[in-house]
Amino acid sequence: MIEDAAITSQILDDIAAEVRMCTLCPLAKARTKAVPGEGAAGARIMFIGEGPGEQEDRQGRPFVGPAGQFLEQLLRRVGLEREEVFITNIVKCRPPGNREPMPDEVAACKPYLDGQIAAIWPSVICLLGKPATMTVLGIGEPMGKIHGQIVERDGVKYVPLYHPAAALHQASLAPVLLADITRLKPLLTSQS
């Protein structure tokens, strides 16, 4: 097990190093820092967002701005610290003005995300917002219809959730996001 964790850690480090040097799409030109993702190599839960924002681009770390603070609060409500999970995005460089990533940018970056998922192989993957849900599951339904519903594929439980930034902009979504995460608590805190 210790060896497994060391191998996973090495694979994640290798992916992060590649991401930091990546020039595969135009987002590379405008970035301050690439944001590969971070967290426990042995994480059973992964959170996938859309793309780095201003603070993430400056620090090279995912979800460190207001949406990240809200995500940390939500995690604590179910007894988790961010160090226990793995947090990443569908694109690893900031889209200008925080626009949605373009399909070609998502496609260029996808192998990095696929590599992270394959290395960690978590039990639960929370997909934060529609772009993450579309990219990972190919499901483009409105969040209002699919949030909180578990989709099981190859033994992994995928859960589309409202993006924490959406809940910050639209206050009525915050209790919905909290309720979805709370309902997932048994899944998020089990060791399987």
Q: Is 49 in the site for ligand URA (CB under 6 A)?
A: yes
Q: Is 63 in the site for ligand URA (CB under 6 A)?
A: yes
Q: Is 62 in the site for ligand URA (CB under 6 A)?
A: yes
Angle at which helices 66-77 and 173-183 cross, to 10°: 40
- Both structure tokens of 87: 């947090």
Angle at which helices 130-137 and 103-120 cross, to 10°: 70
d(CA 35, CA 27) in angstroms, rounded, equals: 12
- Of 36, 39, 52, 101, which one interacts with ligand URA (CB under 6 A)? 52
Considering only CA atoms, which of 47, 139, 28, 41 is closest in space to residue 92? Answer: 28
d(CA 133, CA 81) in angstroms, rounded, equals: 23
CB distance 57 to 91 below 8 Å: no
Q: Is 53 in the site for ligand URA (CB under 6 A)?
A: yes
Q: Which stretch binds ligand URA (CB under 6 A): 13-21, 22-30, 65-73, 78-86?
A: 65-73
Q: Is 177 in the site for ligand URA (CB under 6 A)?
A: no
Q: Is 51 in the site for ligand URA (CB under 6 A)?
A: yes
Consecutive H or E run containing 124: strand 124-128
Q: Which is nearer to ligand URA, 27 or 165 (CB)?
A: 165
Kindly report the length of the chain: 192
For residue 72, the minimal CB distance to ligand URA (Å) is 12
Total site size for ligand URA, rule CB under 6 A: 13
Q: Which stretch binds ligand URA (CB under 6 A): 13-21, 61-69, 72-80, 102-110?
A: 61-69
The residue ranges that bind ligand URA (CB under 6 A) are 49-53, 56, 62-63, 65, 67-68, 89, 165
